[in-house]
Amino acid sequence: MVLAVAAAGALATLLGAVSPAGADEIRDRARRLILDSFVVDGNLSPATWQVNPDCGAGDALGCWDNVSVPTFTVIRDRMGVDLLSTSGNIRTSAQRRVKRVLTSNDIDEARWANHVGVIRYIQKPGAVDIAGVANPLGNTALLARNRAQAWFDDGIRIVQLAYNANENARLVTAAFDSRYGGGSNQDAGVRINGTGNCGGAGAPPCVPLTPLGRQLVDAMLDRFMIVDLSHVGRATALEVARIAKDRNRPVIANHANARAVYADTVSRNHDDDVICAIARTGGVVGVTPIRFMLSNSPLNTGGKWANRELLVDHINHIARDVDCRDDAGRRIRMIEHVAVASDSYVNGMPTPSTWLNVRGFNDRDRWMDLAELMIRRHGYSDSDIRRVFGANLMRVYRAALPGLTRPVLPLDAGNVEPALPRAPRITWSPPQAQRVAPATAYYVYLYRRDAAGNRVFMTVLPAANQTQAQLPRLRANGRYSLFVRATNGAQRVNSTWFDFRVRG
C-alpha cells in the first residue's frame, strides 16, 4: 500500500499537470476535505493579525481586507480551522463564537455549540508574568510545582521550556528563576561556525535539560499540560521525550520541520532522532511554512517567495521517509505523527516579513492549497489528509489535556473514523483524570448524515448502566454521528463527538 501510494505520487509528478477537468475535480475535493474535516492548526494567531499589503482590489491572493475577526466562525468557514493554539490570551466569548479549551472536553463542547476552540500556548516562559510565584526556601521542586500551577490556573495548557539563547539568558537573571533547558539557538552557534553539530566530534555538547527543567516537566505532566519542543535544543528535546514516554504522555513540536531535509542555521528543524523520540511518545511534529526553515534552494532564496513544494518535502520526509521504531523494533506509522502549523497570523505575514513568506501559504486558503498539492502531486489519500490536518493533533490533545477517558471504537486500517455493526453498543470507561469531576450520567445524541455530510438529528439515548448505550438498528453503509455528553448533576464533565459509518 505504501509503495502503491508512493508510486502514484511519483507518476503524478512525472506526468506534470493534470487535465483542467481533473485539476478542478481535485481542487474541489481538497477544499471539501478541509471544510468537512475537523482541522487543527498547531500555532495560529487570530486576534492581532495583520492586513497583507499584497491584497489588491481583486483579492488575488485570497487575503483578508479587515483587521479584526468579527466571529471565530469566520476562521472556520473560510480557512476550515476548527481548533487552534495561540500565544494570545483569548477568552471564551459567545458573541465571537469562541470556546477557550481548558480540558479535552471543551474541544467537543465547542463543536457542539458551533464555536471554534482555542488553546492558550506560551513559547517564552520567561516572558509570562509570574508575579506571586515565590520560592523563599530555595526549594526548586516547590518552585516548579508553583510555576506550573500558576500557568495552569491562568488557562495555559501548552508550554515550551526554552526559546533561544537570549531568552534563556534573561531567565537566568530573573528572580527565583533559572533556565529550564537548551534553546534551539544555543545549539545553532556550533553549526554557524562550521564545526559540525552540537554533541559531535570536536563540537561543544548540546545544552541539556536542567534539574529545574526536569521538575517543571513532571509538574506540568501532573497537571495534564502539554510540553512543546518547537524551539528546544536537541539534548533537551530528547530528555523531555524520554520523561514523557516513561509517563505514557505525548509531547509535540507544533511548528518545527525536518533537519534531514534542510539543516537550517538556527537549529529550528529537528533531526530524525528527535522526530522519532516525539513519535514514540505518541506525539506529533507540526510542519510550518517558515521560509528560512524550508531550504537553501534557489527556489527559496532567489526571489521574494519560497516554493510551496518545499514544505511538502518536509511532510514527505516525516510521513514516508524517516524510519522510526518502537521499543519492540516495529516500524512506527509516521503518517500518524505529522501535522501542520501556520505560525503566522490568520491571513499570513505582511510583505516586509519576506523571511516568512511562502507563495500559496500566506493567505487564508493555505491548508486547502496544501491539501490539493498533496493529493495531486504526492498521492496522499483522503484519510491521510484528515490525519495530517487534524486527526493527529486531536489524538494528542485528547491524550494529554485534562478530561475523562473516552470510548475506544474500532478503526479499520487506513481510516480515521470507526466502522460499527448495524446495531452497535457503545461502551466507554469513566475513570477520572486531573481536575475533572466524575460523571454520574451519560446522554447520547444520535444523528444521521445526509449525502452532503450535514447532520440530521434522530434521537437522544440515556446510557444504560452509565457506561453503555444501545443504538437502534442503523442503515447499512449509512454514515452517522454521536454526541456523548456526561454530566454530574447540572455540571458537564465530559463530551465527545464520534463520526462513524455502518458496515454493509
The band of 50, judged by pLDDT with boundaries at 50, 70 and 90, is very low
Residues recorded for the chain? 504
Shared domain for 189 and 222, answered yes or no, is yes
What span, in angstroms and rounded, lies between the C-alpha atoms of 500 and 409?
9
Q: What tens digit of pLDDT does each residue of 449-484 get?
A: 888 878 899 998 877 666 677 888 899 889 998 887
**Residues near 61 by beta carbon (within 8 Å), at least 6 away in sequence:** 52, 54, 55, 362, 363
Shared domain for 351 and 226, answered yes or no, is yes
Shared domain for 293 and 426, answered yes or no, is no
Q: Is residue 408 one of the residues assigned to a domain? A: no
Plot region of 365 (φ>0 → left; ψ -120 to 50 → alpha; else → beta): alpha
Q: DSSP for 151-173, please give it.
A: HHHTTEEEEES---HHHHHHHHH
Shared domain for 322 and 219, answered yes or no, is yes
Residue that finishes a domain, picked among 338, 370, 400: 400
Q: Which domain holds residue 494?
A: 419-502
Q: Is residue 360 one of the residues assigned to a domain? A: yes
Per-residue pLDDT averaged across 406-418, rounded? 68
Q: Which residues of 369-400 are buried (b: 16+ CB within 10 A; e: fewer)?
A: bbbbbbbbbbbbbbbbbbbbbbbbbbbbbbbb
**Residues near 324 by beta carbon (within 8 Å), at least 6 away in sequence:** 272, 275, 276, 279, 280, 331, 332, 334, 337
Q: How many domains does the structure of the chain reveal?
A: 2
Minimum mean pLDDT range among 140-144, 223-227, 394-398: 140-144
Shared domain for 7 and 87, answered yes or no, is yes
| DSSP SS3 for 117 | strand
Q: Which residues are paired to 118 by β-bridges?
A: 84, 100
Shared domain for 449 and 345, answered yes or no, is no
Q: Which range has highest mean pLDDT (49-63, 216-230, 457-471)?
A: 216-230
Q: What pLDDT score was predicted for residue 91? A: 79
- For the chain, give the mean pLDDT: 78
What is the CATH number for 452?
2.60.40.10
Regarding pTM above 0.85, the answer is no
Q: Where are the alpha helices (DSSP H) in 269-363?
A: 272-280, 298-301, 309-316
Q: What pLDDT score was predicted for residue 75? A: 85
Q: What tens digit of pLDDT does each residue of 365-404 get?
A: 889 999 999 999 999 999 999 999 999 999 999 888 887 6
Q: What pLDDT score was predicted for residue 194? A: 44
The three cell numbers of residue 79 are 480557512
CA angle at residue 391 from 256 to 86, to 5 degrees?
50
Q: Is residue 409 one of the residues assigned to a domain? A: no
Q: Which residues of 229-240 are buried (b: 16+ CB within 10 A; e: fewer)?
A: bbbbbbbbbbbb
Q: Is residue 392 one of the residues assigned to a domain? A: yes
What is the CATH number for 353?
3.20.20.140
The band of 490, judged by pLDDT with boundaries at 50, 70 and 90, is low
Q: Is residue 413 one of the residues assigned to a domain? A: no
Shared domain for 442 and 393, answered yes or no, is no
Shared domain for 391 and 430, answered yes or no, is no
Per-residue pLDDT averaged across 325-340, rounded? 96
pLDDT at 277 over 90: yes
Q: Is residue 405 one of the residues assigned to a domain? A: no
Shared domain for 327 and 438, answered yes or no, is no
pLDDT at 109 over 80: yes
Residue that finishes a domain, picked among 400, 433, 448: 400
Q: What pLDDT score was predicted for residue 339? A: 98
The three cell numbers of residue 401 are 489535556
What span, in angstroms and rounded, lies between the C-alpha atoms of 276 and 132?
38
Q: Is residue 39 one of the residues assigned to a domain? A: yes
Q: What pLDDT score was predicted for residue 136? A: 46
Kindly tell me the sign of the dihedral angle through the C-alpha atoms of 211, 214, 219, 225: positive
**Residues near 378 by beta carbon (within 8 Å), at least 6 away in sequence:** 9, 12, 13, 312, 316
Class of residue 84 by CB neighbours under 10 A (exposed 0-12, middle 13-18, buried 19+) = buried
Q: What tens digit of pLDDT does each residue of 25-38 get?
A: 999 999 999 998 99
